[in-house]
Amino acid sequence: MARRSSRFYGLSLPERGKGNSSRSSTLNPQASQNSNVRILGIDPGLTITGYGVLDKNGSKLAYIASGRIRTPAGELAHRLKAILDGLSEVITAHRPVQVALEQVFVNVNAKSTLLLGQARGTAVCAAVLHGLPVAEYTALQVKQAVVGNGHARKEQVQAMVRRLLDLGGDPSPDAADALACAICHAHGGQGLGKLATAGYRMKRGRLV
């Protein structure tokens, strides 16, 4: 991982062409000029919050950036502040116009669910403080939109995100989930229309 600051890290990918930076912090100038909608996807978590930024131009998607915001050990309030500050920095740097994030998954551990909910609430606040609309999707909806299988494994989500965004390598699981959320939003969230993904599907756990 290429470290961007003390709070969050960018995703390093191999270069895909002359003049293109392999660091996620570098924008694609052509994508920035021609894009219709820039979307920030967020995978909220108290320890690690993943983020992914992409541009939707018609039926095409362009990868912009992705990474993880790590929270320090210590009091809950300080950890939530790290999430708020990190996402604010991402929003300021990449200027998305819409935000999409996963809803909280309720499990048998009530305490863990509550902590995750607070991390998610902080992510929502980061978007709202910047005046951005927020769309919410369940993990089932995200996987269905990206992989075509609502019960797909994380490895399948990573592989499909890599394929759809033409990345040089698999993003980290947290960044992949965030990018998948942004892709799900681009498929049809808030009237953005369906993204054409013909020819990309999973069969027996493999991308075909």
Find residue 10's DSSP bridge partners: 2, 67
Catalytic residue of the set 55, 75, 85, 102: 102
- Annotated active-site residue 15? The verdict is no
Catalytic residue of the set 15, 43, 89, 136: 43
**Radius of gyration in angstroms for the set of CA atoms belonging to the chain, rounded to a whole number:** 16
Q: How far apart are CA 126 and CA 158, in angstroms?
A: 26
Can you say how many angstroms the Cα of residue 75 is from the centroid of all Cα atoms in its chain?
Answer: 26
Helix (H) or strand (E) holding 137: strand 134-137
What does each C-alpha distance from 195 to 8, 56, 60 come to in angstroms?
29, 9, 7
- Annotated active-site residue 136? The verdict is no
* 89 token code pair: 């920095």
- Annotated active-site residue 43? The verdict is yes
Catalytic residue set: 43, 102, 174
